[in-house]
Amino acid sequence: MPGGLSEEEAAARLREEGPNELPRDRPRRFLASVWDVVKEPMILLLLAAAAIYLVLGDLTEALMLLPAVLVIVAIEIAQERKTERALGSLRELTSPRALVVRDGERRRVAGREVVRGDLLVLSEGDRVPADALLLDSRHLEADESLLTGESAPVRKLAAAAGAPARVDPRPGGDDSPFVFGGTVVVRGHGLAEVRATGPRSAIGRIGASLAELDAGRTPLQVEVTRVVKAFAAAALLVCGTVVALHVAVRGDLLQGLLAGVALAMSMLPEEFPVILTVFIALGAWRISRSRVLTRRLPAIEALGAATVLCVDKTGTLTENRMRVAALWESGAPHGAGDGPLPETVREVLELAVLASQRDPFDPMEQAIHALGASALGGARHAGWELVREYPLTRELLAMANVWRTPERVQVAAKGALEAIVALCRLEGDAAAAATARATELGAAGLRVLAVARAEHAAGGLPEDPRALPFVFGGLVALEDPVRRGVPEAVAECAGAGVRVVMVTGDAPGTARAIARRVGLPDGRICTGAELDTLDDDALRERVRGTAVFARVAPEQKLRLVQALRAAGEVVAMTGDGVNDAPALKAAHIGVAMGGRGTDVAREAAALVVTDDDFTSIVAAVRLGRRIYANLRRAMAYALAVHVPVAGLALLPLLLGWPLVLFPVHIVFIEVIVDPACSIAFEAEPAERDLMRRPPRSPSARLFDARFVTVALLQGASVLAAAVLAFRAGLHHTGADDAGRALAFAALVGGNVGLILVNRSWDRVLGVRAGPNLAAWIVTGGATLLAALVFAWPWLRQAFRFGPASWHDLALAAGAGLVSLAWFEGLKLLGPRWLRR
């Protein structure tokens, strides 16, 4: 064995070329996270208000505001850190241990320490740490499905001595001398020289390409940002005008600034982005209980609008493991699950078992042994001795095992049909029948092996198995089974108007068979070769009506996703391999399978399904729709509640009344608004027909005319009740602090009413939508907290409330609540535009 690199050479190359790692997102620093929260407008306004109170010498008011700042910052940071920890816990062994030869000795090193020029010792079950050239190979086969999408292992042959290797090796195909990082050795042994590590490897090049893709923001993010900017600009303009007028008329700059800050806080819709973030984060927590980890929160919102779900076959629709599906002798075929095996078919299975390794690692041989153990019994071959193996070669694509039994020497062979037909010297009708049956099984998406038997008299065995008198035994057909629940999940997607598109590297026949099994239309199959002949416009038209794409290369998957996006679709893409990563990042929602997926796929994806269950994707779509519906209700509530708050802050300044609201009152309302949006509306149950509706249009706006009109009318109703309560209190007592107390009671009552009526826009108080204990807890908590403010003298003084009887406070709160009765009436009698 060659001596390999020295430790000094390896260390020098490690310093020069860097570790053997894939590109990763860098974690954000703690201080950077804190700064991002602190610079939010509402936090800055709270800090400004606290500073003004300190200048005015009002320590009580300042102490009421500063803890609110700390609580908000702490909550945001805790949520962000929790998400980062969850992502970190998902990572499996990014860098597997590798057995290398250095200084003439075998040593185990971390995969990240493997360098170019290292000699790798590969055995069954090893994950290859880097791209390498095979110098020696003993029947080595590798599972390259994570790179190619092909579930069947491929043979590897050592490079001929002195022969130049291909300059640009690519995974896939038998008899290549290259092994690739991230793949798994499923059979045999070998010695390989590392040629490329880290970002220079095949897996690394795909990972590096992800940085060049911009997934973009979701439509809802763009719309909310636009609305917030418009509101913020209007708020700043109005506040600046109010401060200037206050100084000009009353000559008090600090009080003018304080009034302007209060008005800005009341008008600034800072809840919208907060609702979007917190609401989706709580949705991520909810979906995580179904073993789906959210890596990028906005993807959950986009799931509700998904119109196309692109899926890879291997490991997504199928289990990426082999199973014996059928056995065939010269008579009729027998399905593996069709009851007890007939005797002739039992002989076919027995030959397949005898022609396999005793303790196999190859998935196909494992499947053969599994059926053999259940159908043949474990003691059938007790006492048989394996005396020789004829390995598979390039000249003969079949392998044979020679067994010595108490009675005779028996040889069992299995391999490609053509090789077994040649071994058996099969001709005429017998060969035609076997070929026809193998073709039929292959067209059904099965991988077909042929088996044969021979007997040998006592004496020496020939060097070439072709010298043995083989007799054709039959065929063994294996399949990569469809995952449990996938056909039902595909049917549910169809009912929900979500088109499922299978994109695979498999042959068209295999793809068509899997499509039929899972319920996809297979009338039009487009191949990778055909894709190369289509320009962007033609491809955009072709993707509209095609459900199966076969023999697709990784770069073509990316192009397909981009074509679907250009056609106006909201694209979700599932996958687990490195070849899926660019398409995962280019899609609106990338969904990686985490159980066996690569790190680079998880880095690219927005969602990671930790149990690799396709049905979890459908559950995520269902949850995404529920989240959007509830998010719309929460946004309507937040918009409506701003109207009375802003009105009570602005009207006194315009009409010369005493100030009604101060920053502390607005903070109190925020204390109600935040849990209402993040708990009450988020917990609202989904409608039963949620997955029988078409996806919402990608161009549909959240803040459409109907939405804004209803929310503004709701808010105006509560504002009218609060103004009436304020004027009644002012008229009854002549004290502005008494009027302020009644106005605040009406505002709290109206706030509770807004929560209840917006639970549903077509069900009275949402009573038929299902139980929502959270909504009642929030509304009850808001009522009790307001009662505490009115009852505790210190808080009553801090809120600047004057004396008011509980009877008057109850009437004011009831007025705010009853002001929304018209909306409940509309739910029963209103026009269709409200029910839509």
Helices marked H in 656-704: 663-675
Owner of token pair 């090796």: 169
For 764, list phi and psi in degrees, rounded to 5. Answer: -65, 115
User: Which among 48, 80, 79, 77 is positioned nearest to 61, based on CA atoms?
Assistant: 48
312: annotated active-site residue: yes
Give the integer Cα–Cα distance in Å for 585 and 602.
Answer: 10
The residue type of 165 is A
Identity at 288, one-letter amino acid code: S
Sign of the alpha-carbon torsion through 626, 632, 633, 637 = positive
Q: Under the phi-then-psi rule, with left for phi > 0, alpha for psi from -120 to 50, and beta for the rest, what region is 410?
A: beta
Q: In a 3-state reduction of DSSP, which class is residue 766?
A: helix
Comparing CA positions, the residue from 401, 482, 411 lying closest to residue 446 is 482
Query: Which residue type is seen at 117?
Result: G
The token duo for 309 is 């779900």
Residue 574 token pair: 């599932």
What is each CA distance from 237 to 39, 45, 234, 260, 330, in whole angstroms? 20, 15, 5, 10, 88
- Sign, CA dihedral 324-329-334-339, equals negative
- Token pair of 398 as six digits: 């079949």
Report the sign of the C-alpha dihedral through residues 443, 448, 453, 459, in that order.
positive
Q: Are strands 409-415 and 178-179 parallel, antiparallel or unpaired?
A: unpaired
Catalytic residue among 126, 131, 143, 312: 312
Q: How many residues does the chain have?
A: 836
- Sorted by sequence, the CB contacts under 8 Å of residue 201 that are 6+ apart come out as 20, 130, 131, 180, 181
Q: Label each residue of 642-710 as H, E or C.
A: HHHHHHHHHHHHHHCCCCCCCHHHHHHHHHHHHHHHHHHCCCCCCCCCHHHCCCCCCCCCCCCHHHHHH
- Reported in sequence order, the residue ranges of 312-397 that DSSP labels E, i.e. its strands, are 323-328, 334-335, 385-390
Task: Report the Cα 273 to chain-centroid distance in Å.
Answer: 22
Strand, coil or helix: what is 96? coil
Residue with tokens 């850190």: 81
SS3 assignment, position 56: helix
Residues 222, 216: Cα–Cα separation, whole Å: 10
Rounded-to-integer distance, Cα 472 and Cα 424, Å? 6
Q: What residues have CB less than 8 Å from 211, skipping those under 6 apart?
A: 23
- Which burial class, exposed, middle or buried, applies to 40 when counting CB atoms under 10 A from its CB (0-12, 13-18, 19+)? middle
Angle of the 271-288 helix axis to the 219-250 helix axis, nearest 10: 150
**Whether 562 contacts 585, CB under 8 Å:** no
| Enzyme catalytic residues | 312
